[in-house]
Amino acid sequence: MKFFADTAEIADIRELNDAGLLDGVTTNPSLIHKSGRDFMEVTKEICGIVDGPVSAEVVALDHETMMREAEVLRKIADNVCIKVPLTIDGLKTCRALTRDGTMVNVTLCFSANQALLAAKAGATFISPFVGRHDDNGFDGMDLIRDIRLIYDNYGFGTEILVASVRHVIHVLEAARIGADVMTAPPAVIRNLAKHVLTDKGIEGFLADWAKTGQTILR
Ligand code: E4P
């Protein structure tokens, strides 16, 4: 499963990328707002750090303006992936852009039928929001299971990008189901490395090492 960081914070992206953990980045208007940075500038910087797709979201609601915005965004770098909302205009934009060889991430997906439409429109990625689904009393992971089943039934090439990930169990479940990608806040990705027995083990080894009176670096 590929890992994307769901953030526009450069320091986090650099750290995770240097650890070999990043296959891409997703941003959205709220994350850009949170970063306090200029959208074009920060997107260009992120594209220069990671090799994989960097999602940049259009904000128009009609197809023509979405296309004009996408035209500006895709000039930022070759690894920009245009993010469009799951609406009929968004799907129309998705079809036009992917036919032209541009990567498209169809976002704000909350049903398997919506995911089916995105695949039919040729989306590179479909982003079902599991956390927001859970918040509203539905099981986000059931949605991922349904989309996996449907895409496999028909051999759709659209990658399932599990989004709105809130904790490490979402990541584990996504991997069990066979999602292609998950995007998570940097803190969730860091938490994947944590285990109480790892910490305890380090503590024990270091205590015994101190008793030897030895050093490695001399
Ligand atoms: C995905 O691309 C979105 O940016 C993101 O996962 C939304 O997550 P949230 O529900 O935590 O805002």
* Cα separation, 31 vs 38, whole angstroms: 11
Q: Which of 34, 83, 200, 211 is catalytic?
A: 83
Minimal-distance CA residue to ligand 1 atom 12: 164
181 close to ligand 1 (CB < 6 Angstrom): no
Give the pLDDT of residue 162. Answer: 98
Instruction: Give tens-digit pLDDT for 102-111.
Output: 999 999 999 9
Q: Does 114 reside within a domain? A: yes
Segment 69-94 shows an average pLDDT of 98
7 close to ligand 1 (CB < 6 Angstrom): no
> Confidence class of residue 208 from pLDDT cuts 50, 70 and 90?
very high
- Specify whether the CB–CB gap between 119 and 126 falls below 8 A: yes
CA of residue 21 to ligand 1 center, whole Å: 19
Q: Does 145 reside within a domain? A: yes
- Specify whether the CB–CB gap between 104 and 98 falls below 8 A: yes
Give the pLDDT of residue 140. Answer: 97
CA of residue 25 to ligand 1 center, whole Å: 11
CA of residue 126 to ligand 1 center, whole Å: 13
Q: Select from 57, 113, 138, 43 the least CA-distant residue to 90.
A: 57
* Closest atom of ligand 1 to CA, residue 55: 2
Give the pLDDT of residue 80. Answer: 98
Give strand pairing partners of 57: 83
- 167: phi > 0 → left, psi -120 to 50 → alpha, else beta; which? beta
- Specify whether the CB–CB gap between 120 and 94 falls below 8 A: no
Percent of the chain with pLDDT over 90: 100
ipTM of the complex: 0.97
Q: Does 44 reside within a domain? A: yes
107 close to ligand 1 (CB < 6 Angstrom): yes
Q: Does the model's pTM come out above 0.90?
A: yes
57 close to ligand 1 (CB < 6 Angstrom): no
- At 53 the three-state DSSP class reads coil
CA of residue 182 to ligand 1 center, whole Å: 11
Cβ neighbours of 72 (radius 10 Å): 12
What CATH number corresponds to the domain at position 26?
A: 3.20.20.70
* Closest atom of ligand 1 to CA, residue 28: 4
- Could you tell me what percentage of the chain is helix, strand and coil, using 3-state DSSP and rounding each to the nearest 5? 50, 20, 30
Q: Does 217 reside within a domain? A: no
Give the pLDDT of residue 167. Answer: 98
> Confidence class of residue 94 from pLDDT cuts 50, 70 and 90?
very high
Q: Does 155 reside within a domain? A: yes
Each residue of 107-143: b (16+ CB within 10 Å) or e? bbbbebebbbbbbebbbbbbbbbbeebbeeeeebbeb
Number of domains in the chain: 1
Q: Is 200 a catalytic residue?
A: no
Domain span at residue 105?
2-212
> Confidence class of residue 74 from pLDDT cuts 50, 70 and 90?
very high
* Cα separation, 65 vs 63, whole angstroms: 6
